[in-house]
Amino acid sequence: MERNLKLILRYDGSSYHGWQMQKNLATVQETMEKAIAMVVGHSVHVTGCGRTDAGVHAKCYVANFRTSSTIPVDRLPYALNTHLPPDIVVTKAFDVHDGFNAIGSCVRKEYTYLIYNSRLKDPFYVNRAWFYPKHLDEKIMQAAADQFVGTHDFAAFCAAGAQVSTTVRTIFDCHVERVGESVRMYVTGDGFLYNMVRIIAGTLMAVGLGKIEPSAVAGIIAGCDRTKAGQTAEPQGLTLVEIFYSV
């Protein structure tokens, strides 16, 4: 009898070209499929909850695959982790209903973006944050972040070449906070376009530097012109932190 298994994993994306399989490039999906095949004894296709760019991290990533193996789910994380590199760890496994799909069943995702905002670099933030030495005004950034909340056409915050049926998405929450020399953006939505979170982060940084007025953000969204938004923030500051499902 074939089973549908759901995995929860965490990974440091520094050494990978994102989640999705790519020819001649190391990816998280390929690494996972090789490890799973060694445990269950047959090749598998692993469906992930979404693409992540090269260098992007995940504290909570969801994937599923189908198998005829009878291995108990409580043993599966330990078995998989013996075949995975130390920068990918499976934390939990579940038997799920046949209709569950890691990406198709997802209703909400939460990301954080971390900026290390200091005059001096910190080696402990290498591959974990975007180092930016010029001071950012997090209160002004928050005034701009508020304008992203709601259902909008986010074409201005989508990288060129994305193949999607619609660029309309809903943002449930977007806020910015400072803790010492770290500025962190939190954004939760029903889905995100290619590079969308990184472009939002780059736009908020431009606001924090005084290059874009907070009041201009609503117009940038409405205008659907990518050239009016900020730069695409560097990937290493981005982390997928939570995935939500309706069932």
Residues 107 and 105: their CA atoms lie apart, in Å, by 6
DSSP state letter for 120: S
Burial of 114 (0-12, 13-18, 19+ CB in 10 A): buried
- The answer to whether the CB of 183 falls within 8 A of the CB of 208 is yes
- The answer to whether the CB of 104 falls within 8 A of the CB of 6 is no
- The answer to whether the CB of 158 falls within 8 A of the CB of 196 is yes
From the candidates 53, 95, 122, 146, which is the catalytic residue?
53
Residues 247 and 245: their CA atoms lie apart, in Å, by 5
- Side-chain-side CA neighbours of 30 within 13 Å: the count stands at 12
Residues 19 and 89: their CA atoms lie apart, in Å, by 14
Helix H or strand E encompassing 80: helix 76-81
Residues 186 and 191: their CA atoms lie apart, in Å, by 14
53 is catalytic: yes
Question: What residues are annotated to the active site?
Answer: 53
